[in-house]
Amino acid sequence: MGLVEFARILRERRSSRRLSQLELALRAGTTQRHLSFIESGRSVPGREMVIRLGESLELPLRERNEFLLAAGFAPAYPQTPLDHEALAPVMDALEHILAAHVPYPAIIVDRHGELVAANAAQHILFDGCAAELLVSPANAYRIALHPDGMAPRIANFPDWARHVLEGIRADLRRNPDDRLASLADELSRYVPAARLRPGHLGFAVPLELRSPAGDLRLITTITSFATAVDVTVSELKLEAFLPADAATAAALHAATPRREGH
């Protein structure tokens, strides 16, 4: 791409993270003067410096590879298909974690929200959703907010939908992505305008879901691989839906009994 393009990308990424040149220079183990020269295109960074800058900016591994390419270097981080034998241990570990969450629903999604795997309690979430929304590659964000998906069963849909959408937009602010941005635009059409009430504390709310097992109140946790060195693995997220009260816990246990050995 050329040195000028790399300098532009570096400036944009630093600015989007609200870092001064001095702050980034200190993180990357260099001087503000050297960083200024790199950003102006007057200095050519070495491969190690490009890697340090990408790490200091906390760029996802995919973007760090693009960072290296822009500076004229080969990518440093592999991107392995999920069905490759090299990732078999990772997928086995994920399946184990999914199974351990039963009777609570848990899913694994990629960076665009596409479903990679789900556990035996997934029916709690997807019951009544249109079949076409569940056809692979199914998108968990679309299933959650689409009128033919979970939306009709979500008692607090305006707040929950805004919570999901704000999470996607936060990802986009940190790491711009055209495909995710397009999905966010689509999903925003399903989300009613926010009506902020007095005492509003944000859009992080429990999911209030109507189900054959009863009315459920679910909180979510999101897990990712903090030490992944493969692009594919680093972008996976495991989202577990946990009971927010005793009644929900009892209903989930009744709806999806644990199998022996789990």
Question: Residue length, the chain?
Answer: 262
Does 154 map to a domain? yes
Choose the final residue of a domain: 35, 70, 105.
70
Q: Say what the pLDDT of residue 2 is.
A: 61
Task: Determine the pLDDT at residue 201.
Answer: 45
Q: Among the three residues 41, 70, 99, which one is the final residue of a domain in this structure?
A: 70
pLDDT at position 200 is 45
| Residues 6+ away with beta carbon under 8 Å from 191 | 145, 158, 161, 162, 165
8-state DSSP, 114:
B
Domain annotation covers residue 260? no
- Domain end (from 22, 37, 70): 70
**Whether residues 163 and 244 fall in one domain:** yes
Helix (H, G, I), strand (E, B) or coil at 193: coil
Residue 78 counted as domain residue: no
Which domain does 23 fall in, by range?
3-70
Mean pLDDT estimate for the chain: 90
Residue 246 lies in a domain: yes
| Residue 124 and residue 234 in one domain | yes
Indicate whether 97 and 208 sit together in one domain: yes
In the chain, which stretches have pLDDT less than 50? 200-202, 260-262
Contact predicate 240/101, CB 8 Å: yes
47 and 160, same domain (yes or no): no
Q: What is the CATH number of the domain that holds 37?
A: 1.10.260.40
Q: Which string of b and e fits 61-95 if b means at least 16 CB within 10 Å?
A: bbbbbbbbebbebeeebeeeebeeeebeebbeebe
pLDDT for the residue 226: 75
3-state secondary structure of 210: strand
Nearest CA-CA partner of 66 in 150, 1, 147: 1
Residue 207 domain-assigned (yes or no): yes
Q: Do 101 and 63 have their domain in common?
A: no
Is the entire prediction scored with pTM above 0.85? no
Q: What is the pLDDT of residues 197-212, one digit of tens each?
A: 555 444 567 899 999 8
- Report d(CA 134, CA 116) in Å as an integer: 12
Q: Contact at 8 Å (CB) between 219 and 242?
A: yes
Same domain, 97 and 130: yes
- Does 196 reside within a domain? yes
The answer to whether residues 116 and 63 belong to one domain is: no
- 21-28 and 47-56 helices, crossing angle to 10°: 120
Among the listed residues 71, 64, 55, the one whose alpha carbon sits nearest the alpha carbon of residue 8: 71
In a domain, 104, yes or no: yes
Shared-domain flag, residues 131 and 215: yes
On whether both 159 and 239 belong to a single domain, the answer is yes
According to DSSP, residue 154 is labeled B
